[in-house]
Every structure is written in C-alpha cells, then in structure tokens.
Amino acid sequence: MPSFLKTLLTRFLKWRYKNVSDKTFVHMMGVVVGLLAGLAAVVLKNLTFFIQTSLEEGIVFSSNGLYFILPIIGLTLVYLYVKFIHKKKLEHAVSSILFALSKKKGNIDLKKIITPLITAPLTVGFGGSVGLLGPAVASGSAISSNLGGILHMSAKRKSLLIACASAGAVASIFQSPIAAIIFAVEIFSIDFTMLSVMPLLLASISGVLTSYFFLGNEVLFSFSLSDSFEIRDTLFYVLLGVGTAYASVYFTKMYFGILKLFKPLRSPKYRLLVGGLAIGGMLYMIPPLYGEGFGFINDLLDGNHLSALGTTPFDRYLSNIWVVIALLFGITIFKAVAMTTTFAAGGAGGIFIPTMVMGSALGNVVAKVINNLGLGFAVSESNFTLIGMAGLIAGVLHAPLTAIFLIAEITGGYELFVPLMITAAISYLIAKKTINHTIYTRELAESGELLTHDKDQNVLTVMRIEDVLEQDFKAVRPTTSLGEMLHESVSKSTRNIFPVIDESRALVGIVLLDDIREFMFDTALYRTTTVATFMRAAPEYIFYEKDSMQQIMKKFQESGAWNLPVIKEGKYYGFISKSKLLTAYRRQLINFTQ
C-alpha cells in the first residue's frame, strides 16, 4: 500500500476510534459490504449475459451441435486462466468460505475477489450447467474479508461482514432481501441475535437497492401468482415433499459420486476433455441443461413446456404428454449430473440455482402426472413448479427457511406459505436424517475443519489434549511398599489418584486414595504390603495419538470416571480430569457464541 494511503487509513482509524462506536461502525460496514457484494453480483450477471448474447448473436443456433462444442471452449478458457493467471486450484465457493471462517479467522485470499468474476461467466456463458450465486457470494465475501483486514477488524467482525456480503449478493441476484438474511443465517450458521441481524438487514437492503439501481425492475422470474392454495391439494404437497427429499439425497450422492469418478483422472486436461465431451453429449440430448436455466424455469411457470424443452431429438413425439413428462423427468435426473460434471471438468459456479432448476422440473412433473392420470384431479402446475424449487433447496442445502421465504418473495406474496412450509419441512427432515451434511459442509466436517455449524460439538475440534492435560501426579512402582508410598507420594501430593508404572514407564494400573485409606495407619503393613496389592485397572484409557476430543468426552461419559490416564507412545503421559475438560469446553463455547 502506498505511503499516502497508509497515512489516510491511519487518520481514518484514529477518527473512527474516537468518534464511532463499534456497533455503529459494524452497521456502517454492513451497508458498504452489501453494496460491494451487490455490485459484484451485478457485474457477474452482466458479464455472463454479455457472453451468452454475444454467442447467440454471433452464431446461429441452427442445430444442437453447437451446444456440444461451446462448453468445451468455455472450460478450456477457464483452464488457461487458472493455469497461467490464478495459479491455484479452484475451490468450491461456499465451502472455501466456511473453511476460512472455521480455520483462517475469516481471512480470504485477495485473488478470490476477481477469480469468480472471470471463471464463472466463462463457465456459465459457454453453457456450463452451474449457477452464479456461489461465485457472487465468494467474490463479495473476499471483498468484505479484505476490507475488514484493512480496517483492523477482529476475526468475529470479519466473519459477520462475510455473512453480510453473502446476504447482499443473494439480495442483489434474487431481489429478495428477507430470504437473503435467512440464507446467511442458515448457510453460515450465524447466531441470530440483534447484534448480527441489524448488519445483515442493512447489507441485504444495500444489495437489493444496488440491483434495482443497475438493473431496474428486471427480475429473474417474471411470474405473478394466479392460483391460490387449495386445502384439497394438501396430500399432493406432502407427496411432493417426499419426492423432493429423495431427489435431494440423489442430488447430493450424485455430486460426490461423480467427483469420485473423476479422481483417477489426475491431469486437468483429461478431466476437461472427458467432462467437456460428457456435458456436450447431455446438452445435445437435453438443451435446457445449457447454462443456469432461468429461462427453463420461466417457461415452466408460464405453462409453456415446449419452449422449456427446446429443440430435442424427440420433437416429433412431443404431442404425447407422457413423452413431455419423461423429458422433464430426464432434466430432473441429469441436471445434477451435468452440474457436477461441469465442476469435475474444471468449471466454476454454484449449486444453488441448479438446485432450483431440478426442483422446478420435478414439481412440474408431479403436477403433470396428477393432472393426466385420469382420476379427476387438477392441480396448479405453476404452483407445483415453485414449490418443487423450495423442496429441493430445503433438502439439498438444509435451508428450509431460505427456501420458504425465497419462493414467497419471488411470487410477490405469501398465498403459498402453507404448502411451502409443508413441502420444505418434509423435504428437509427426510434429507437431513438421510444425509447429515450438505455439499457445502460434508468434506469439511469429515476432515474436522467445519466449526461454523453445531457449535456445541465443534468447540471440541479446536481443543487440544495439551490444553487439559495434568501431569502433577505422583507415580509409584508396583513393588513400592505401602510405607514408602505414604511417605514419598501420598504425603507430598494434593491428588487422590496415583499412577502405577513399571521400569519402562508403561502404565500398569492406578491406586486411589480411597483404596488405601483404611490401611494408612496400620504400621504393621508398611513393609509387608506393596502397591501391587491395592492397584486396580483404570476404567478407561486415553490414547494421545489416536483419540479426538469428541472421543475423550465420550469415554468420560461412558466410564463415569473423574480422571482418566493418557497414554503416549505406549507410556504413561499424565491424566485428564473431567472437571478441567468441562471448564475448558465451557470457555471455548463462550468464545464461539459471542
């Protein structure tokens, strides 16, 4: 940073510390990062739109063959950018933010401001079947993290600003400020208190106003709700909730399954080639998989399924409604495949919007099946399309409230609130019970690097054995006489437990003060009785190299002991007491929740 900028920053910080309280400053920063995240989202959308329109105007889409070629070109451009400019492996947007919050005190690389703004438009603009929300959140979060660092804000404040940036990005893309706040709370597990809700609110307002300023009243979904909720359709919404739940499980398992399938292809070039050809083949057969898919959703909402399906090899059969249903169900199946293949091939993007596309297709399929079974039922296909999106969001992201409020705000009202709650709740409960972690959190949780969710459990992850280890215990040998133990160990110790070790310092047992209390004053036993007479096996052992803090806590719970010995490399190393462990746990929990 140039010296004159450092001088200005120093003067600003001095003025801020003297005149602006921490709370007010965080509120101000909420507005700023909401604005900047909103700008990042607008830039991302416009760049992608520019690429898409340039391709459509410069190339006549006379056949599906171009769908086969364009994704490979886009992925190649992303590969070249990553190799020669970014020079680091692309990371999943939201997962990398969660990692930064958990392990890096909210510090995000400066490069991540620009990289999503380049790689995501190249991926999506050329037909990659991913979304733009994740990259928008990533860019906004990187802006807020680096801005917080420049302004010398604490890790907790930076974490809150990152959540504010995500709210600003969501509000800007969907023009739905309430859902944006709830997204930040559910996805980043921000504690919903007045200290956090006001900055989130201000950031969300700032983001949505930025979108209105640059894009006007242009919205992603040009849809007005015309069919209200009918109580007789309740059972069908329950059915839709179950369907979206299992679709969510399929979506998540397919994501990790395809990524695992690509792992043997170590070279990025091979992954690009195989993935690009696979994506091209899917787009040739099912053109609606091209790009994000908002046009597909809007066509379904308008009741125009022929326009939604586009030109396919099955056009001659589209007069048969069951062929239409089969093709729409194919989109439900293959959207997850196309999305994950795009990631595996080296593309950049998000999973939120593909989730919505898959949900809209599934909801529309369910409605069409109900209406065409010949049983006399008639349900609103547009309503089921909307609520299908909510069900997938709730199940895939484990974010039922985000799903409910997002769709409610998209429709411009709350007439569908009851069916939204029914479907989202059922989808979330079944999916959560089946798969405990989302695409965002699974890999971090498995590696012990997810600290933002389930704080009461995750505080154990940051605790170390050294933090609670006690080594002021007097060790004795099995052959030590009772008298020698009393004079050399008991009289000089403040503890009521004594480890028994052999010549190699291996633990062979323990002696409790209660075990020898009734013999302590019988001098006749001082020379004739040894420690081996009184020692017992420890109720459980803690292995330094193997046991995590979660396992240690479980061992205390199951054994009922107040002190457990620690074994390191086969030798006695010390004790951990339950009281010290719980005290350290409570202290960490307080730090996490403040």
Q: What pLDDT sits at residue 359?
A: 95
Q: What pLDDT sits at residue 235?
A: 95
- The reply to whether 19 falls in a domain is yes
What tens digit of pLDDT does each residue of 445-456 get? 655 555 444 555
Please indicate, yes or no, whether residues 192 and 89 belong to a single structural domain of this protein. Answer: yes
What tens digit of pLDDT does each residue of 497-556 get? 999 999 899 999 999 988 888 888 888 888 888 989 889 999 999 998 888 888 888 899
Where does the pLDDT of residue 18 fall: very low under 50, low under 70, confident under 90, or very high at 90 and above? confident
- Tally of domains within the chain: 3
- The reply to whether 45 falls in a domain is yes
The two three-digit tokens of residue 527, written as one number: 């020379």
Please indicate, yes or no, whether residues 200 and 256 belong to a single structural domain of this protein. Answer: no
Q: CA–CA separation, 348 vs 124, rounded Å?
A: 8
- The reply to whether 225 falls in a domain is no
Please indicate, yes or no, whether residues 371 and 464 belong to a single structural domain of this protein. Answer: no
Please indicate, yes or no, whether residues 195 and 246 belong to a single structural domain of this protein. Answer: no
Please indicate, yes or no, whether residues 162 and 276 belong to a single structural domain of this protein. Answer: no
Q: CA–CA separation, 533 vs 525, rounded Å?
A: 11
Q: What pLDDT sits at residue 574?
A: 93
- The reply to whether 146 falls in a domain is yes
Q: What is the CATH number of the domain that holds 265?
A: 1.10.3080.10
**Domain interval for residue 473:** 458-593
% of residues, the chain, pLDDT over 70 = 91
- The reply to whether 440 falls in a domain is yes
What tens digit of pLDDT does each residue of 223-258 get? 667 777 888 899 999 999 999 999 999 999 999 999
Do 410 and 180 form a contact (C-beta atoms < 8 A)?
no
Q: CA–CA separation, 103 vs 532, rounded Å?
A: 47
- The reply to whether 108 falls in a domain is yes
Q: What sign has the CA pseudo-torsion 546, 549, 551, 556? A: positive
Rounded to two decimals, the pTM is 0.78
Residues ≥6 apart with Cβ < 8 Å to 491: none
Please indicate, yes or no, whether residues 122 and 165 belong to a single structural domain of this protein. Answer: yes
Q: Is the pLDDT of residue 591 over 90?
A: no
Please indicate, yes or no, whether residues 413 and 358 belong to a single structural domain of this protein. Answer: yes
The two three-digit tokens of residue 331, written as one number: 């989109």
Q: What number is the average pLDDT over the span 280-287?
A: 84
Please indicate, yes or no, whether residues 359 and 274 belong to a single structural domain of this protein. Answer: yes
Residues ≥6 apart with Cβ < 8 Å to 581: 468, 552, 553, 556
Please indicate, yes or no, whether residues 193 and 253 belong to a single structural domain of this protein. Answer: no
- The reply to whether 453 falls in a domain is no
- Across all residues in the chain, what is the average pLDDT? 86
Please indicate, yes or no, whether residues 416 and 471 belong to a single structural domain of this protein. Answer: no
Q: In terms of DSSP bridges, do strands 469-470 and 497-501 run parallel, antiparallel, or are they unpaired?
A: unpaired
Please indicate, yes or no, whether residues 493 and 349 belong to a single structural domain of this protein. Answer: no
CA dihedral 20, 21, 26, 28 (to 10 degrees): -30
Q: Rounded to whole angstroms, what are the CA distances from 315 to 5, 133, 306, 310, 496?
A: 63, 32, 9, 9, 84
- The reply to whether 223 falls in a domain is no
